[in-house]
Structure 1
């Protein structure tokens, strides 16, 4: 036992000097990061000037959000190059977090803008509009798939598309053959799911979100098709916003569009794109859903 404790700090004194709790110092002792110089017979912990200096390094590194393993490694090999390395590692980690938060911020801002746009959407009026070309992520669906299988395809597509890049479209939409929609007497079959994607820097390479979906399907061993990059063609589109659910309103929607095509000497020029604007994200009432139909069209001689 030491004859005097005058030149040593108690656990309370040391904790107060660094603005930390006594429990933190006890934890450091348990994990072997910083132990007291000695423990007196009455159980009090006493720390020396050496432990004070060690704790100064530990607390400063903790304020930089350094992990305990990194701090332990630095204390064992303390020099300028080691400090420089852990600072560089932390800088890279911070930049990655900043990039992730910036992407999250863009997604939040996009959703807010989408909500504002949705409030101003007019339903029930057919319009014609020229749309620019966009990149799409598309997941094809076998026609033999049942309802559960189609939901699984939808989930796989949505997960793969949104994991790497914020989509440009409000949500995942679906593609229907225009002929089936306009002329069939039964519910049109969804042939694919799609999402608008940011334009990749390398136009020869697929967007990273599509690649992520491919890797996930292979890793899970699922019998699901891989998403592919496709093009939303630039051109003239018939646009119609409507309330309700597409698969219960398809007949009257098709009739309205057929009449419009005849009156304006137009014909369909590609697949029908169905894009939800207001869905289960915003309401439980399916009658209040708002969906946009986009049908590429071309003029024909009267």
Structure 2
């Protein structure tokens, strides 16, 4: 049987819509589309009517509809079902707008953070700061390696609305060294990992913190802990809790360790 004009082979349709031939065959299997002509060589050919269907299938899939829902709509199209689809599409658009606005705010905050540290002048200087209360989500454990802490951060981050790399979230990440280990000089044993966020966790109370911000790899942290320990002794400060390391700029942002920026925060009473 000779192929009719204006029919397209499955390979042509696949390239036109960037849909694999296997997916098109699956659509045929479940009845979403069907070939208008099958040649003697078993090649399948589709008409413009099937192409129209593919336009609808692709658009509805992009909206999040399942194949069963799409088939029901295509098989029983009506004004009512079209209205339902349009209302569903409008809801999805509103949701996407909300997500884009949120993403825009995240990116602006990240840029402000990067710009702040690019002009920061107080590196390597012990400073006492009052820090307002924060929402902190913790993971308990005993962590010794950077990758262990990063893995815990990923788990914690997935528990908030920002299941993303940290370059695209407002969450700040870090780890704690217990007061006991700090006093013993054991600066590579972390008792908790944490993320600071706005929605889940424990309230960490406001207070005065002895802080220091430094650039470079984490292997340098011992020097800065000793510097803070000396400052505490010379100024008769009393440590009132565990030490917090916050990774303001880390490997999610740059692969150059010299550009890493870490802040140590130790709660103190004056």
Q: What is the TM-score of this pair, normalised by structure 1?
A: 0.62
2:71 matches 1:66: no
Match of 1:177 in 2: 178
Match of 1:11 in 2: 6
How far off its partner does 1:191 sit?
Answer: 0.5
User: What is the SS of the residue equivalent to 2:60?
Assistant: coil
Match of 1:117 in 2: 116
Match of 2:190 in 1: 190
The answer to whether the Cα contact below 8 Å between 2:176 and 2:244 also exists between their aligned partners in 1 is yes
2:248 matches 1:271: no
The answer to whether the Cα contact below 8 Å between 1:168 and 1:195 also exists between their aligned partners in 2 is no
| Residues 187 and 297 (structure 1), Cα distance of their counterparts in 2 relative to 1, 3 Å cut | closer
Match of 1:255 in 2: 226
How far off its partner does 1:246 sit?
Answer: 4.0
| Residues 140 and 59 (structure 1), Cα distance of their counterparts in 2 relative to 1, 3 Å cut | closer
User: What is the SS of the residue equivalent to 2:252?
Assistant: coil
Matched residue count: 240
**Structure 1: which 5+ runs fail to align?**
1-9, 13-19, 40-44, 201-206, 208-228
Query: 2:114 and 2:34 mapped to 1: Cα distance?
Result: 53
CA RMSD of aligned residues (A): 4.0
| Residues 23 and 281 (structure 1), Cα distance of their counterparts in 2 relative to 1, 3 Å cut | closer
The answer to whether the Cα contact below 8 Å between 1:74 and 1:82 also exists between their aligned partners in 2 is yes
The answer to whether the Cα contact below 8 Å between 2:126 and 2:210 also exists between their aligned partners in 1 is yes
> Radius of gyration: which is bigger?
1
Query: 2:254 and 2:113 mapped to 1: Cα distance?
Result: 15
Query: 2:158 and 2:113 mapped to 1: Cα distance?
Result: 16
Task: Render the CA deviation track for 1:200-228: whole Å, top value 9, x for unaligned.
Answer: 4xxxxxx3xxxxxxxxxxxxxxxxxxxxx
**Structure 2: which 5+ runs fail to align?**
8-12, 18-23, 39-44, 62-66, 163-168
